[in-house]
Chains A and B, each alone.
Chain A
Amino acid sequence: MQIELRGISKSYGRLAVLKNCDLELESGQLIGLLGNNGAGKTTLLRIISGLLSADAGRLLVDGEEWSLKSPEWRRKCALVAHKTFLYQNLSGLENLRFFSELYQHDLNEKDLRERLDQVGLARAADKQVRAYSRGMQQRLTIARALLSEPDFVILDEPFTGLDKDGSAQLVRMLADLKQRGAAVLMTSHDPQTALKVTDGFVRLSRGVLGEAVAVQGREWTEIEPILYPESTPEGQAA
């Protein structure tokens, strides 16, 4: 599957948050979206996931035009955002069962417990989410997002709140997702951790999305000057 976003623009009043952004992603590819706070990353992710209307822009899936606001597109996507999207008075298992029923996946209790086990929450399955730590909630959030086996996964700072084990587990899950053929778009303030699974980076700066930079086995120190030319001595001199 090839996903192309063309000319995505969004303004709030006179403030242009996104200016004519283009992005391409393929099945099995993970692209890291970088940008400073307030660069418009979350706005872009919400538009791509169909939760926010763009002022302009097109979505092409395998060359065919789709509406970003169509329910079919929204159900193809999974989003892990800053908020957990979880119900605090329900247990981890009940949260997964609820979303599995909404996606009409008919996963039985054994399947759901396996999903919880994959994110290290097997023992906390029957506890209400309000008793979970931030890291546990983040793990459950990821399990919830991947429940529908989405074609396109959007992750907004997924490493937030995760400890070392949790981060390593997430990296493994992302690698599995790629292997399964999902396209992944992820923002992160920790590109060095993300580098382990990322195929390329794009940078969003002042509403403008730059060209994608392929990782191709390079270290972050080699990629950073390409993405952030202003941080190099030459860039500062210019």
Chain B
Amino acid sequence: MKNWLSTLKTLTWKDLLQEWRSKDMLTAMLAFAILSIFIFNYAMELDPRQRAELAPGILWVVITFSGTLGLNRSFVAEQEQGSFDALVMAVPGLGSIWLAKQISNFMMMLVLIVIVLPIYSLLYNQNLFIPGLWLTLILGAWSFSAAGTLLASMTVQTRMRDLLLPVLLFPLLMPVNMAVVKAGSGIMTSAPVASYQVWLAVLLVYGIIMTTISLLVFDYVILE
């Protein structure tokens, strides 16, 4: 277990260091997210009540679409120089490769959320510093990156990876999309907790199930 955690730490550090130096993922994700928020801002004239209801939906669309750009890039370094093979040969439990990539993708999503929410707050003149909303988005981001990292590891081996990933990912994320929007709207409109807590539970359970499945099937995905 100690060795497994040490391997996980090494792999995660490598992914983050690579991204810190190249900024490939984050630049694309942030540029897309900020542009999308501006477009939504100009396209929709909303009253305060509508803004509160729609904010989680708009934010989630921006976050997931931007996140998909990042996911598409997440295995490219391994694919281009074949270093994935070297990892497979060096690492005893291949699940740690997936988890390290999942953690670094999740951290990119967190950075995205931390930057996007204040910008949205400023543009729409709306307070988004609500712990419940942040929790919802963070749970959603974990589920999104868990499913996305697994699918990205499969699609990176195909020629049409840029097209294939969103086509496969978004149907798989339907429960997450619904849960984030429903729970977020409930929180933003100060609805009773009982009316949206089931959606938070959906997010939590989805994240746990997707993480477990990914850890179990990653060996098979890579070696078969």
Contacts and interface: CB of A to CB of B under 8 A. Distances in A.
Interface string B49-83: 00000000000000000000000000001001111
A103 B88 contact: no
A50 B92 CA distance: 12
User: Contact size class for A?
Assistant: 20 to 34
Interface in A40-86: 49-51, 53, 69, 71-72, 74-75, 77-79, 81-86
B21 A79 contact: no
A144 interface: yes
A90 B14 CA distance: 9
Given A89-B77, A104-B6, A79 B224 contact: no
B171 to A, nearest CB: 29
A104 B92 CA distance: 11
Interface in B9-43: 10-11, 14, 17-18, 21-22
22 contacts: A49-B85, A50-B223, A51-B88, A51-B223, A53-B223, A79-B86, A79-B89, A83-B81, A83-B82, A83-B85, A85-B81, A85-B83, A86-B81, A88-B77, A88-B80, A89-B77, A90-B17, A99-B86, A101-B10, A102-B90, A104-B3, A148-B90
Q: Which 6 A-B pairs have the closest CB atoms?
A: A83-B82, A85-B86, A102-B90, A71-B92, A89-B21, A101-B10
Given A83-B85, A89-B17, 5 more contacts: A51-B88, A51-B223, A74-B89, A78-B89, A84-B81
Interface of B: 3, 6-7, 10-11, 14, 17-18, 21-22, 77, 80-83, 85-94, 223-224
Interface of A: 49-51, 53, 69, 71-72, 74-75, 77-79, 81-90, 94, 98-99, 101-104, 128, 144, 148
